[in-house]
Homo-oligomer: A and B are copies of this chain.
Amino acid sequence: MKTLSHELQSVAEAVAEIIRDESLQPAFAPPQLRQAVLAYPLTGGKALRPALLAWAGRALGGPLPAALRAGAAVELYHTYTLVHDDVIDRDGLRRGHPSAHALMEEEGRRQFGLSHEAAHYGLSMAILAGDCQQSWAVALLATLPELGADPRVTLRLINQLQRVVGPAIVEGEARDIQLPFLPVAVVSEADILHMMRTKTSALFSYCGWAGGLLARGQEDAEVRALAEFGERAGTAFQLQDDVLGLVGSEEKMGKPVGNDLREGKRTLIIALAWARATEAERAQLSTVLGHADASHEEIAAATALLRRLGAIADIQTMAAHYLQDALRYLDILTDNAGVRLLRELAGTMVKREK
């Protein structure tokens, strides 16, 4: 068996090929919109979601081409949420490149000679690019019968994505926006977990479910187990994401560390640390939390405090528990290459460095 990273690489390449296939693309125009729409999908995501979907299908003996195309659709869907999140969070970098709105702002200056209007132009084009990516993702799903998927199963995949998962992601993002407006002490761990599960875990859960449904043609205990697996693995992933946002390598991640603190994001790390902190320590945290202009030194000192309070280590332990929980759901499946890849994938989602 090839190593996991080789297998992941081959899913990422298959997804890139589907995304580049012009016969499956909408006719993106004008050229600036095309540039904004294709920017993230073609700068190499990790393809974790497509891999989860494709391997969930493989675990139940399903056909690979339909699962890979559905995986590419999910990757595009994820991309749409990133483009809009970057606008909302005013993040200027994504995977080491300018984020979509920053790219469009720069192009607006260069191509149209914009000055004070450039930022609004960039934001406007990024909104439209994300809109287009959502459309494209769904259009791609609608073509699955070309690869042998049942039309009714395909409609079920579309309905679940658009009625349940999409609104859940949006709910998570809305809560992510709102929680920093509330005092740290009134935001419970349950509030933060709910935000994470809607914003992140719902789409991973969908991947497990969709791969299973494409293989089985109907929902059964194994399909549901794959959905639960994806849900837990997704939460573990997000916990690790929060850790990397504080102590990861900027070079590996292609974005600045500490921005979660500057944006005042309510992560479980913050909630845990706050509950344990003295008044003086809380005051120190308050000087960086939600302060966009916090210096590198202030961020480093706050991060050291979070570490000293045990919050970072405890969240890593929690991620490991979610991982174990995820893996237990795979126990009811007959062991095969697909199941083994899912186990390795979940492990990597927690141990990753970017």
**C-alpha gap A114/B182 in the complex (Å):** 11
Determine chain A's interface SS by DSSP, over half rule: helix
Interface positions of A from 11 to 48, Cβ below 8 Å from B: 26-30, 32-33
Total residues of chain A contacting the partner, CB 8 A: 55
**C-alpha gap A171/B128 in the complex (Å):** 8
Interface string of A272-287 (1 = CB under 8 A from B): 0000000000000000
Interface string of A115-138 (1 = CB under 8 A from B): 000001101110110111011101
A297 to chain B, nearest CB (A): 25
Q: Does A65 contact B (CB under 8 A)?
A: no
A54 to chain B, nearest CB (A): 21
Contacts of A30 in B (CB 8 A): 171, 174-175, 178
A144 to chain B, nearest CB (A): 9
Contacts of A252 in B (CB 8 A): none
A291 to chain B, nearest CB (A): 13
Closest B residue by C-beta to A124: B88
In the complex the two chains form, is B167's CB within 8 Å of A26's CB? Answer: yes
Q: Does A152 contact B (CB under 8 A)?
A: yes
Contacts of A177 in B (CB 8 A): 121, 124-125
Contacts of A167 in B (CB 8 A): 26-28, 132, 135-136
Contacts of A128 in B (CB 8 A): 84, 88, 170, 173-174
**C-alpha gap A251/B121 in the complex (Å):** 31
**C-alpha gap A163/B143 in the complex (Å):** 10
A27 to chain B, nearest CB (A): 7
A290 to chain B, nearest CB (A): 10
Contacts of A156 in B (CB 8 A): 142
User: Can you give 24 contacting A-B residue pairs, CB < 8 Å?
Assistant: A26-B162, A26-B164, A27-B164, A28-B167, A30-B175, A33-B170, A84-B127, A84-B131, A112-B181, A123-B123, A124-B177, A127-B127, A128-B173, A132-B170, A135-B163, A136-B162, A136-B163, A142-B155, A142-B158, A142-B159, A142-B162, A142-B163, A155-B155, A158-B158
